[in-house]
Amino acid sequence: QQQVKQSPQSLIVQKGGISIINCAYENTAFDYFPWYQQFPGKGPALLIAIRPDVSEKKEGRFTISFNKSAKQFSLHIMDSQPGDSATYFCAASMRSTGANSKLTFGKGITLSVRP
């Protein structure tokens, strides 16, 4: 059973455009929702994260939108640049539980930003 589902599987965007990646989760006990960016040969790097008491969070060109009733959250990358070309993972955890706070990852999507 896949608890965190990402879509689309891949994405191609023109430079300057908006990249939108969606994620749906099943476990309503999840209380922490991060997005990670991974370049080849590197570990995942935390981009931005949100808790369910907030509907939107923005950091620079990256915005998370959160819809608790739909159990969905999305990553928006504004003014996409070729340097944003990477693999993006959404994840979720029951972070406040402490002992059971492991991260569950989506399958990831490959973003390509065309010059």
Partner 1 sequence: SAVISQKPSRDICQRGTSLTIQCQVDSQVTMMFWYRQQPGQSLTLIATANQGSEATYESGFVIDKFPISRPNLTFSTLTVSNMSPEDSSIYLCSVDRERDGYTFGSGTRLTVV
The helix/strand/coil state of 84 is helix
Cβ closest to partner 1, residue 68 vs residue 107? 107
Which of 1, 64, 52, 50 is CA-nearest to residue 28? 52
Q: Which position among 23, 34, 66, 111 is part of the footprint of partner 1 (CB under 8 A)? A: 34
Bridge partner residues of 14 (DSSP): 114
Q: In this structure, are residues 18 and 8 in contact, taking their beta carbons and an 8 Å threshold?
A: no
**Structural tokens at position 69:** 């009733």
Binding map of partner 1 across residues 50-89, x = CB under 8 A, - = no contact: ---------------------------------------x
Q: Which position among 49, 71, 76, 112 is part of the footprint of partner 1 (CB under 8 A)? A: 49
Quote the least distance from Cβ 44 to partner 1, whole Å: 5
Q: Which position among 43, 69, 70, 115 is part of the footprint of partner 1 (CB under 8 A)? A: 43
Structure letter (DSSP) for residue 60: T
Candidate ranges 15-23, 55-63, 64-72, 91-99; the one touching partner 1 (CB under 8 A): 91-99
For residue 57, give Cα distances in angstroms to 9, 16, 24, 67, 76.
Answer: 24, 21, 17, 12, 10
Interacting positions 94-113 with partner 1 (CB under 8 A): 95, 98, 101-108
